[in-house]
Amino acid sequence: MNLVLVEPEIPPNTGNVARTCVMTGTKLHLVEPLGFSLSESEVRRSGLDYWKYLDLEVHPDFASFRRAYPRARLLCFTTGGERYYHRVTYRPDDFLVFGSETRGLAPEILGQADIVLRIPMVDQIPRSLNLGNSAALVLYEALRQQNFPGMS
């Protein structure tokens, strides 16, 4: 599996997603600009001792990511998604794409999606789930459907 964070802004959210990726054998793609530094000193200061185990690829922008993976099946997540995240059959080589914490995914990115999905939430509150929580619950559903490959 591949998990993509487009322009993440909050370091602890990306740290949580990175840890989830390490513990599930999932590759993490970060699309710049980032709202924080990935320098070795910053990662060490954040206590991210698992970072050395992370399969990480950083892309300067979304167009560069697409050039690197032109045939990728993109499953994009937004509050306006067409269907619920658990009503799709995930594939081992899927790319699960999440936007920044404050802006989500831009329309031009959503326009490139193979499938646009959503996580059900109550309508009365004008907020969304935390990025780390959203990425984890979607990733675990995708891995569950595949019988948790490489995990015990």
End-to-end CA distance of the chain: 17
> Residue 40 — pLDDT band, cuts 50, 70, 90?
low
Is 22 inside any structural domain? Answer: yes
Amino acid at 133: N
Q: How many structural domains compose the chain?
A: 1
Domain of 19: which CATH number?
3.40.1280.10
Is 152 inside any structural domain? Answer: no
Query: pTM for the full model?
Result: 0.94
Tell me the per-residue pLDDT of 57-70, one tens digit each, with 9 for 90 and over. 999 999 999 999 99
Domain around 45: 2-145
Is 75 inside any structural domain? Answer: yes
